[in-house]
Structure 1
Amino acid sequence: MPHAFAKSGYVVGTVGTLVIGFLCSYCIHVLLDSCYELCKRRKVPSLTYTGAAVAALSEGPAWCKACAPYAAHVVNAFLLIYQIGACCVYVVFVSENIQYVLTKHFELEVTVIQVMTYILIPLVMINWVRDLKYLAPLSAIANAVTFVSFGIIMYYIFREAPSLEGKHPAGKIRDFPLFFGTVLFALEAIGVILPLENEMKNPKSFVGTFGVLNRGMVSIIILYVGMGLFGYLQYGEAAAGSITLNLPSQTEILASVVQCLLAFAIFITHALVCYVAIDILWKEYVGVRLLNSNHRFLWEYMLRTVIVLVTFGLAAAVPELDLFISLFGALCLSALGLVFPAFIRICTYWYYVSDSERIRMIIKNAIVVVFGVLGLVVGTWTSLEGIIVKFSAHSVVLNSTDAGQSLANTTSSIML
């Protein structure tokens, strides 16, 4: 969040986070309301995100009904890309923090790619856990570690009073898509909303003016605005893709401890996030074709391993935390969090409202769709452009290093 504010400025960042947070909350309410209506019509207790998309398109205009059979695959594709992208972010986060501690505190010469290689086998093994109940104790530990680490990070932010000196109220327009993608990645959790609401003892308490959803979202938005604003005012343009990389781990052991603790917490969370991707692929596409196979469990473990290797490969190819966060936030969450819920709402009530109400509904939700599509296209393009530039610069540095080494070896040989 401080890095996102460095792209937008402290005024635009604060207002922008509030607006994006409001849009995310609105679209979650829209999705839940549509699901309630579809469940009543179909007389079913609950619907998944993909189920809601299929049901809504089946009751929409004629051209939407023709697209209904493909809706589940489209939603699943975006969910898969997002979950795998989040896993890539986690791999980079863990590796960068461990590498930072090793190089700054212990003065060891090690690269981020090398650290990724070291944690690859443990990542594969933790993702071999097939039952979430065995990950629950580790998840509880990770939550406690994150809470303590957050307090320590706040101590470093306010140890010296944050200042407006040298900070910009507004950033460059071309950097705003990076801010948009990052904030959306941080705030949006549309994939877990319906499962969470479906598992509640009293689902009605989830919505409402002072329901669980609104209280949770308000708390999160305030927390993220505070972290982004004061983190930026403290570290300015030097704010890294993760604020942990701004902590003085070279001189203070407490900062190194925080980085290691959060790396551990996110390492555990990788298995939880990857579980969603595995669940979709296995239950919807792979497992159903292997019901009679004698090696079904073996195939499942192979799938789990392949997904981890994919996240590792993507993270190793472009180990840039900030660009990964912005890319997957803009690419997937613009669609899942903004565009799809608004579109589901339109289809759900298409034949169940008056003409005037339909027009108002279309205009209101079309604004959200346009905003989401713009964020998806521009944010994805900007993030990919940044990745290409970083990758090109990295390749140039490597080639220059190799050329310099070759020249040095040749010179030494001639001298000898």
Structure 2
Amino acid sequence: MNLVVDISRGLGGLSYGDIGGKLYGRKMRNIVLFSIALAQSGFCCAYYIFVAKNLKDLVMLISNCNLVLPEWFFIIFQVLVFIPLSWVRKLNYFSLPCLIASVFIFLSVAYILFYNVAILYTSGPEKDILLFNSESFHLFIGTSLFSLEGICLILPIADSMKKPEKFNNTLSVCIITILVIFGLIGGTGYLAFGNRVSNIAFLNLPDTYLTSIIQFLYGLSIALSFPITIYPTIQIMETRLFHFSVSGRVSNAVKWKKNLFRAFLMSVLAAVAFFGSAYLDKFTSLVGYYAKSKTEKIKDWLILVFGILSLLFNSVITINDFFEEDNDIQNDRCS
């Protein structure tokens, strides 16, 4: 990410697609834009699944398992919410919701970590701990790459900083901090529950009202960040589909054509999420580089090779897993 920011500044502050076009021509620009649109769409599909699973579990928790609704119900509910949100044209309207979402995420992560540590303190670590899982370690690679879902916003954030020259150091500190948090949450969770650990961390938590509140706030935080995540895909695809049209600010007909397209896109992503909802871990795993000196060139090639190998290795194995009998699908809270 630091390399991308440096390249952009060296070329006069170009965007991702313009960098590809400047260095390698129009075809590369289109490839870059297509990759961004596809990646962000994949992230949003995972959001659909994650929120649906959390809402389903939340309803079961509140109703003491007297009300068990299918996950497709919650996916459709999200579509009805996300369609009007996708019609919002200005991202600054989402600045406050994103801030609120960050607070909710912090509270949720703190609660999960506290409970994991409490289990370890009172009961000690599980006995069936594997230091290396040879059968499904590829899910770790894919999910780790999935965690870079905000990479498409790196250049806009760097350009909007009051002191852009400090961005690289700030980004490095943030990445290290996130790495520590992820390691603590995942590590303590696995030590506390072993093979019983759920793909949805909240399923490991006790059946209390506090768990219900925290789980609701976390699901809400994901929903609040959805419009920001899908925005690059909408912009890229609308630029391609409506480049001969006048602006929606001038023509209501064009504006509603774009609105209908956005509604269609939300529905398609929901359909993909529905078919992948039973395999959240595999789905997130599936959804997951101009140098002068010799050292820089070596670094670029290493990143390029790592990216391609990760893509091929993870995609082939994960797609194959979809067609095999899966004995590791997590039970819900009530079963």
Fold conserved (TM > 0.5)? yes
State the superposition RMSD in angstroms.
Answer: 2.2
Q: How far apart are 1:123 and its partner, in Å?
A: 2.0
Map residues 6-155 of structure 1 onto 2, 5 A cutoff: 28-39=1-12, 46-57=13-24, 68-106=25-63, 107=65, 108-155=67-114
Distance 1:328 1:223 in 2: 22
Map residues 356-367 of structure 1 onto 2, 5 A cutoff: 357-358=293-294, 360-367=295-302
Q: How far apart are 1:361 and its partner, in Å?
A: 4.4
Distance 2:99 2:149 in 1: 21
Choose from 311, 321, 326 the match for 2:280.
Answer: 321
Q: Deviations over 1:46-65 (max 9, x none)?
A: 110111122122xxxxxxxx
Question: Identity rate of aligned residues, in percent?
Answer: 25
Aligned partner of 1:402 in structure 2 is none
Q: Which portions of structure 1, spanning 4 or more consecutive aligned residues, are displaced by more than 6 angstroms? A: none
Q: Deviations over 1:240-282 (max 9, x none)?
A: 222123222xx31211222111111111211221122112212
Distance 1:116 1:256 in 2: 19
Q: Is the 8 A contact 2:17 2:33 kept in 1?
A: yes
Q: Deviations over 1:12-35 (max 9, x none)?
A: xxxxxxxxxxxxxxxx22222222
Distance 2:264 2:233 in 1: 12
Structure 1 gap segments, 5+ residues each: 1-27, 40-45, 58-67, 330-340, 342-347, 395-416
Q: Is the 8 A contact 1:178 1:382 kept in 2?
A: no
Q: Is residue 289 of structure 1 aligned with residue 244 of structure 2? A: yes
Aligned partner of 1:61 in structure 2 is none
CA 1:77–1:170 in 2, change beyond 3 Å: closer, same or farther? same
Aligned partner of 1:299 in structure 2 is 257
Larger Rg: 1
- Residues paired across the two proteins, number: 320
Q: Is the 8 A contact 2:125 2:193 kept in 1?
A: no
Choose from 153, 160, 166 the match for 2:128.
Answer: 166
Q: Which amino acid is the alignment partner of residue 323 of structure 2? A: I
Aligned partner of 2:268 in structure 1 is 310
Q: Which amino acid is the alignment partner of residue 204 of structure 1? A: E
Specify the SS of the correspondent of 2:242: helix
Q: How far apart are 1:367 and its partner, in Å?
A: 2.6
Q: How far apart are 1:119 and its partner, in Å?
A: 2.9
CA 1:270–1:294 in 2, change beyond 3 Å: closer, same or farther? closer
Q: How far apart are 1:135 and its partner, in Å?
A: 2.2
CA 1:123–1:37 in 2, change beyond 3 Å: closer, same or farther? closer
Aligned partner of 2:332 in structure 1 is none
Specify the SS of the correspondent of 1:54: helix
Q: Is the 8 A contact 2:112 2:185 kept in 1?
A: no
What TM-score results when the alignment is normalised by the length of structure 2?
A: 0.88
Distance 2:310 2:49 in 1: 24
Distance 2:59 2:162 in 1: 46
CA 1:164–1:110 in 2, change beyond 3 Å: closer, same or farther? closer
Q: Is residue 386 of structure 1 aligned with residue 317 of structure 2? A: no
Aligned partner of 1:195 in structure 2 is 156
Q: Is the 8 A contact 2:83 2:262 kept in 1?
A: yes
Specify the SS of the correspondent of 2:323: helix
CA 1:361–1:166 in 2, change beyond 3 Å: closer, same or farther? same
Distance 1:132 1:386 in 2: 38
Q: How far apart are 1:375 and its partner, in Å?
A: 0.6
What TM-score results when the alignment is normalised by the length of structure 1?
A: 0.72
CA 1:90–1:212 in 2, change beyond 3 Å: closer, same or farther? same
Q: Name the one with the larger helix percent.
A: 1
Q: How far apart are 1:390 and its partner, in Å?
A: 6.1
Aligned partner of 1:184 in structure 2 is 145
